[in-house]
Structure 1
Amino acid sequence: MLEYNESSIKSLDWREHIRLRPGMYIGKLGDGSSKDDGIYVLVKEVMDNSIDEHMMGHGKTIEVKITDQKVTVRDYGRGIPLGKVVDVVSKINTGAKYDSGAFQKSVGLNGVGTKAVNALSNYFKVQAFREGQAKLAEFKKGVLTNDARVTKTDEKNGTLVEFEPDNTMFKNYHFIPEYLDDLMWNYAFLNAGLTVLYNGNKYFSKDGLLDLLKQKTDAEDLRYPIVHLKGNDIEVALSHGNQYGEEYYSFVNGQNTTQGGTHLAAFREGIVKGVRDFYKKDYDAADIRASIVAAIAVRVQEPVFESQTKTKLGSTNMAPDGATVRSFVGDFVAKELEIYLHKNPIAADAMSKRILQSERERKEIAGIKKLANDRAKKANLHNRKLRDCRYHFDEKNEKGVDSMIFITEGDSASGSITKSRSVETQAVFSLRGKPLNCYALTKKVVYENEEFNLLQHALNIEDGLEGLRYNKVIVATDADVDGMHIRLLLMTFFLQFFPELVKAGHVFILETPLFRVRNKKETIYCYSEEEKQAAVAKLGSKPEITRFKGLGEISPDEFGNFIGEDIRLQPVLMGKEGHLNRILEFYMGKNTPDRQGFIIDNLRIELDKVEAKEEVVVAEEEEA
Structure 2
Amino acid sequence: MAKKQEYGNESIKSLKGADRVRKRPAVIFGSDGVEGCAHSIFEIVSNSIDEARDGYGNKINVTLFADHSVEVEDFGRGIPVDYNKAEQRWNWDLVFCELYAGGKYGEGSGTYDFSLGLNGLGLCATQYASEWMTADIYRDGCHYHLDFKQGENVGGLKKEPYSGRRTGSVIRWKPDTQVFTDIAVAPETFRDMLKRQAVVNAGITLVFDDRSSGKSEKSEYYYENGIVDYTNELAGENSLTPVHFCQGSAAGRDRADQPEYEVQMNVAFCFSNTVQTLEYYHNSSWLEHGGSPDRAVRLAFVNQINAWLKNKGLYKKSESAITFADVQDCLVLVSSSFSTRTSYENQTKKAITNKFVAQAMTDFLKHQLEVYFIEHPDEAEKACKQVLINKQSREHAEKARISIKKNITAQMDLANRVQKFVDCRTKDVTRRELYIVEGDSAMGAVKTSRDSEFQAIMPVRGKILNCLKADYSRIFKSDIITDLIRVMGCGVELGGSHNKDLAAFRLENLRFNKIVICTDADVDGYQIRTLILTMLYRLTPTLINEGYVYIAESPLYEINTKTKTYFAYTEPEKANILKRIGDAKYTIQRSKGLGENDPEMMWLTTMNPESRRLIKVMPTDAEKTAQVFDLLLGDNLQGRKEHIAEHGAEYLDDLDLS
The two structures have a TM-score, normalised by structure 1, of 0.56
Alpha-carbon distance change, 171 to 191 in structure 1, aligned in 2, over 3 angstroms? same
Alpha-carbon distance change, 302 to 386 in structure 1, aligned in 2, over 3 angstroms? farther
**Aligned residue for 2:242?**
225
Are the aligned partners of 1:304 and 1:314 in contact in 2 as well (CA < 8 Å)? yes
- In the alignment, residue 387 of structure 2 is paired with which amino acid? I
**Aligned residue for 1:96?**
103
Aligned residue among 92, 96, 101 for 1:85: 92
1:39-438 to structure 2, matched below 5 A, reads 39-68=37-66, 69-83=68-82, 84-100=91-107, 101=109, 102-155=111-164, 156-199=166-209, 200-220=218-238, 222-232=239-249, 233-243=264-274, 247-281=277-311, 283-285=321-323, 286-316=325-355, 324-371=356-403, 384=428
Structure 2 residue matching 1:95: 3-state secondary structure: coil
Structure 2 residue matching 1:219: 3-state secondary structure: coil
Alpha-carbon distance change, 111 to 375 in structure 1, aligned in 2, over 3 angstroms? farther
Q: Partners of 1:386 and 1:40 in 2: how far apart? A: 40
Are the aligned partners of 1:61 and 1:75 in contact in 2 as well (CA < 8 Å)? yes
**Aligned residue for 1:513?**
none
Q: Which of 234-243 and 112-121 deviates more?
A: 234-243
Alpha-carbon distance change, 150 to 21 in structure 1, aligned in 2, over 3 angstroms? same
Q: Partners of 1:226 and 1:382 in 2: how far apart? A: 54
Q: Partners of 1:123 and 1:201 in 2: how far apart? A: 26
Shift of 1:300: 1.4
**Aligned residue for 1:482?**
none
Q: Partners of 2:406 and 2:98 in 1: how far apart? A: 57
- In the alignment, residue 204 of structure 1 is paired with which amino acid? Y
- In the alignment, residue 303 of structure 1 is paired with which amino acid? T
Q: Partners of 2:18 and 2:427 in 1: how far apart? A: 47
Q: Partners of 1:147 and 1:9 in 2: how far apart? A: 33
Q: Partners of 1:148 and 1:377 in 2: how far apart? A: 75
Q: Partners of 1:8 and 1:312 in 2: how far apart? A: 36
Are the aligned partners of 2:176 and 2:183 in contact in 1 as well (CA < 8 Å)? no
Shift of 1:308: 0.9
Q: Partners of 1:375 and 1:170 in 2: how far apart? A: 52
Shift of 1:330: 0.6
The two structures have a TM-score, normalised by structure 2, of 0.53
- In the alignment, residue 207 of structure 1 is paired with which amino acid? N
- The gaps in structure 1 that reach 5 residues or longer are 32-36, 317-323, 388-447, 453-624
Alpha-carbon distance change, 147 to 205 in structure 1, aligned in 2, over 3 angstroms? same
Q: Partners of 2:430 and 2:270 in 1: how far apart? A: 37
- In the alignment, residue 369 of structure 1 is paired with which amino acid? R
- In the alignment, residue 41 of structure 1 is paired with which amino acid? H
Q: Partners of 1:275 and 1:153 in 2: how far apart? A: 60
Alpha-carbon distance change, 272 to 373 in structure 1, aligned in 2, over 3 angstroms? farther
Are the aligned partners of 1:263 and 1:326 in contact in 2 as well (CA < 8 Å)? yes
Shift of 1:27: 0.6
How many residues get paired? Answer: 377
**Aligned residue for 1:25?**
28
Q: Partners of 1:118 and 1:374 in 2: how far apart? A: 60
Q: Which of 302-311 and 337-346 deviates more?
A: 337-346
Alpha-carbon RMSD across the aligned residues, in angstroms, is 2.9
**Aligned residue for 1:13?**
16
Q: Partners of 2:289 and 2:508 in 1: how far apart? A: 28
Q: Partners of 1:449 and 1:39 in 2: how far apart? A: 48
Are the aligned partners of 1:272 and 1:289 in contact in 2 as well (CA < 8 Å)? no
Q: Deviations 1:378-422 (Å, cap 9, x if unpaired)?
A: 99x9763799xxxxxxxxxxxxxxxxxxxxxxxxxxxxxxxxxxx
Q: Partners of 1:235 and 1:257 in 2: how far apart? A: 15
Shift of 1:237: 1.7
Q: Deviations 1:223-254 (Å, cap 9, x if unpaired)?
A: 2222222223111122233358x531111100
Q: Partners of 2:268 and 2:359 in 1: how far apart? A: 18
Shift of 1:196: 1.5
Alpha-carbon distance change, 153 to 16 in structure 1, aligned in 2, over 3 angstroms? same
Are the aligned partners of 2:345 and 2:352 in contact in 1 as well (CA < 8 Å)? yes
Shift of 1:174: 2.2
Q: Partners of 1:361 and 1:107 in 2: how far apart? A: 41
Alpha-carbon distance change, 357 to 278 in structure 1, aligned in 2, over 3 angstroms? closer
Q: Deviations 1:459-481 (Å, cap 9, x if unpaired)?
A: xxxxxxxxxxxxxxxxxxxxxxx
Alpha-carbon distance change, 370 to 77 in structure 1, aligned in 2, over 3 angstroms? same
- In the alignment, residue 273 of structure 2 is paired with which amino acid? N
Structure 1 residue matching 2:7: 3-state secondary structure: coil
Tell me which of the two structures has the higher relative contact order, counting C-alpha pairs closer than 8 angstroms and 6 or more residues apart.
1
Are the aligned partners of 1:85 and 1:128 in contact in 2 as well (CA < 8 Å)? no
Shift of 1:139: 0.8
Q: Deviations 1:94-120 (Å, cap 9, x if unpaired)?
A: 111111212212122221111111111
Structure 1 residue matching 2:385: 3-state secondary structure: helix
Q: Partners of 2:291 and 2:507 in 1: how far apart? A: 33
Q: Partners of 1:449 and 1:272 in 2: how far apart? A: 39
Are the aligned partners of 1:86 and 1:137 in contact in 2 as well (CA < 8 Å)? no
Identity between Structure 1 and Structure 2 (%): 25
Structure 2 residue matching 1:268: 3-state secondary structure: helix
1:413-562 to structure 2, matched below 5 A, reads none
Shift of 1:138: 1.1
- In the alignment, residue 60 of structure 1 is paired with which amino acid? N
Q: Partners of 2:43 and 2:384 in 1: how far apart? A: 43
